Structure formats: structure tokens, C-alpha cells
Structure 1
Amino acid sequence: MPDADRSLRDALQDEEFARAVAQILAEQLRQPAMTARHDAEVVAHYPYPRYSALIRMRQVVSGLALVLMIGAIANTFEPWLRRLPLTGLGFAAAGLTVITGVSLIALLVSEVFRGAGLDVAVTLRRGTVTWEEYRFIPSLNRLTFVLVLLVLGFLTIIFGFASLYTELLRQNPAHFQGLQDGFLAIYFAIVTFSTVGYGDIHPASELARGLALTEIIIAMFFSLIAISAILSWAIADKRQQAEVSLATRIRDRHRQALKRSETPSDTAAPSAHCLGEQAAFDASHAD
């Protein structure tokens, strides 16, 4: 054993041997950094839908709302539904338009608050290291898209009530004071929805007042819900963007640090030489 220790100390005194040991140690220290610099490879991708039925229902109702809204606008200016051989079709279509608009907003708010979308499990690999990351992709991932759907829902409600008022006026002009079909009906529906009430047009019958009151209640209730939904979505979206930005910043700084450590420093060989001497010293005192 003493002979082996003496041989090891003699070998470490050789400058070429010490340089070789230092090079090996430096390569071993750089190997994890070189591996970590490679971009991660996506090995597998597993999506798991959340509330997919709710998403599909919202998509169907959105298309139906657009069609019914266009029909309600046309019926407000021209009584084309009365040309069909069906009694009360105008009232039914206008009522369905209002219900569709209300349903669209309710589905949209439910989709936002329940967190509908995709749960995704991603298996990544970098070198010989494999790990999994879990992400959530919301079905409504753009604020502009959320606002467009909300506007579509509210406009569907407004034009649906405009068509209702027009049908009621065509049935009996005594239901309203100052109301006419076309633009004035839309104007009255917007004023009622906003609860402004200028007084130039007002309902004169119990049925007309009931319809106007229903529109006001819907406007107040769903406006509060829509505002809360937008705020909740915006807060969640900002939080997610902040997390992504933080992860990107840390990753970039980490890569820069790895690039700086790619080239071994001038003191790598002396440090490795010292490590070799320390190892020999420990081995000589092991017994």
C-alpha cells in the first residue's frame, strides 16, 4: 500500500499527467452543461379535453345566434315572416332569438368559470433525461374572441327584443307611443337595454311594459355577469402570461450562463491538479 501511494504521488508530480487529469475533470464538469443546452424534444403529447360538450354547445349556439340575429334585423324592417303560412311565427322567432342570446352569454360565462379547454401532458427529452410537463390550454384563449362572443350575445338579445316590439306594434299600434318599425324599434330596444329611457318612446300596454321590463332585467343581470367573466378571464390570462414570461426569462439566463461556462477557465488545470493531490493525500491517510 505505501508503494502504491508513493507511485501515485510521483505520477502527480509529472506535469503531463497532471494536465491530462485536469482535462478529463474539466470535460466531466462540462458534460452536464453541454447536454442541458440542447433543446428539449417532444416525445409524446397527451390531450385530455375538459367540458368538451359545453364547448361544442357554445359553438352551435354561437352560429345559431348569428343566424337568428340577422333574421331579427330583417324582420324589424320588413315583415317577411308574415308571408309564411304560419300564425305567430314572428313572435316565436323573435322570442327564440332572445333566448338564444341569453343562452350564448350563459354558456360563455360557464365556459370561462369552469375552465373548459385541454389538459395536456407532454413528455420531453433532453439527451438521456426524460420528464413530463403538464399544461392547460383554455378553449377561449384570446380576449378579443371572448369580447366578440359577448357582443354577439348582447346584440342578439337587443335585436331579438326589437323584433318582438315590432311584431307587437304590427299586431296593435296602441301597445306603444311613438314607436315605428325599422330603425326606431332598434333604437327603443337599445335605449331600454341600456336603461336610459329618454321618454320619447314608451310602452302603453301591460304586455309591452312587461317585455320592456324583461329586457331591463336581462340587461342588468347579464351585464354584471359579463363584466365579472371578462375580469376573471383577464386576470387568469395575465397570470398565465406572467408565468410563461418568467419561465422564458429564467431559461434564457440559464442558457447564457451555460454558454459562459462552456470554455474552461485558465485555472481549470491547477484546480484539477490540486484535486488530484488532495485525492492522493486522502488515499495515503485512509489506513
Structure 2
Amino acid sequence: MADADARPAKASGTYRIGGDLSVDRLGYGAMQITGPGVWGDPKDPAEAVRVLRRAVELGVTFIDTADSYGPFVSEQLIREALHPYADDLVIATKAGLTRSGPHDWRPVGRPEYLRQQCELSLRHLGLEQIPLYQLHRIDPKVPLADQLGELALLKQEGKIGHIGLSEVSVAEIEAAQAITPIVSVQNLYNVANRQSEEVLEYCERNDLAFIPWFPIATGELAKPGGPLDAIAREHGATPAQLALAWLLRRSPVMLPIPGTSSVAHLEENVAAAQVQLTDDEYAALTKAV
């Protein structure tokens, strides 16, 4: 089997996060390998391990997780499945959201808390340095300079390589950049929801990685007879694959991280890297919303 077929993620192209972390652009988001409500252990831990190992086999070199997924369950499964890590594997994690139960998320950005969570993530992942550490949410109760100042200290100490943000506006990115260098932004974005278009354009202009979470939402577009459905039929692809192909085409700084707890679904998602949209198809999907 040709390498392109065996490792389809390679067809997504590469991007250098922060100028030095080279990743294949279609990655994997590890939120869904936990229990219901992103809480506790998965129903089938062995399948979660298989998914992670299969992702790497398919050429994925960028895995995104967070301390709050489980909490810690996702990070621990990543270590179980993939440690010692391949040299080209970049693992990103986040801190700044606490959990008190399923579906419950609350921002906490106190410096001592962020430091504690970084130390725990290092231990749970089995890393000496976290390549990309993201502030999961800005805590409105804590000065931004205190939150990012602590991450800058952790970077200075060599515990993290680069700093990223999640769910932020352009103004918040600029305020953060005044405190410490920022290399990535993770916002909600997909073919059907482009409220973060201004943020994406800012990332393009400033060569920041843009990591869209919830990347496969297709909604009305995937209905029979809709634009995704029609183009999918022509390609012999699924609407989800087209949604990912659209993201990859949308911007060179785009790093989609579709997540799943199923090997079959993972293989379908990663195959999206090989779907090449024509100019007309891309335009049709862009105009559909």
C-alpha cells in the first residue's frame, strides 16, 4: 500500500506551530475518549487506546487534549496508548477549566492553580515539556497578566514550549500578545458556524495556528439535497469528510482536530485529508451559510 494510502493524514499538508513544531494539519482531538459528559472513564478503555494508536498509524502528528477531559482521563489514556512518544508527535493540552460533574465547566485562572495543573499534566502525559500549553478559558475574575504571566514563567522554566489561547476575541489575543508570545488560538469554527471568522483572519495575518473545535458540525447543510450532500455524492465522500476538507482548504493555518471514540469513525475522518475540493465546490460550500 502506498504511504499516502496508509497514512492519509499526510495529505493535509504541514504547519509549523510557533515556527518550530511541525505537524500534519489534520490532527485528533482527544475529548471524546472519556465518559459521558466528558466525565470519568470511557465505556470501552481498550477501544480508546486503539483509537489513539490508530490515529498515529494513519499519520496524525498533532493530538489535542486538556486536563479537564475526564478530568485527566484523556491525558492518562494518551500516555497509556502512545508513551514513549514518536519523535514527530506533538501533544497539546490545556488548563483553566475546572469540573464538578458531567457537562459542567467553570473557568479558574489563578496562577497557583494553573501551575498545579501544568505539573499534573506533565506527570499524567509522561512529558518533561508540554509542546503547546493552552489557556482553556480566560478567567474574568483574575487579571489576564496574572494568568499568562504564570504560563510565561512555566515556559521560562522549560515546562512548556509554547502558549496558546482558547475561545478568545481579536482584542483578547492582542492583549495576551502584549504579555507573552502566543502561537495558537482554539475557537469554535466549522463550515456551518463561522462566528470566529475575524479571529481566523487575524491568525492568518499573524501566522498563528487556528485550531477549530467542533469542526464537523454540518447541520442543515448535510440534509438530502443540500450542498454538502450533493458534493459528497460526487466525491463518494461523507458530509463530515467534506466539512473537514473545506476547513483544510479554507486556510493554511487551520489545524482541524476531529475527535471520536471509534476506530471506524477515526479512519473516515482522517481520510478527509485526501478529499480535494474544486474551486467551484469550495465556493458553493462557502456561500451555503
Q: TM-score, normalised on structure 1?
A: 0.19
Q: Give 1 or 2 for the bigger CA radius of gyration.
A: 1
Structure number with greater CO (CA < 8 Å, separation at least 6) is 1
Structure holding more helix per residue: 1
Q: TM-score, normalised on structure 2?
A: 0.19
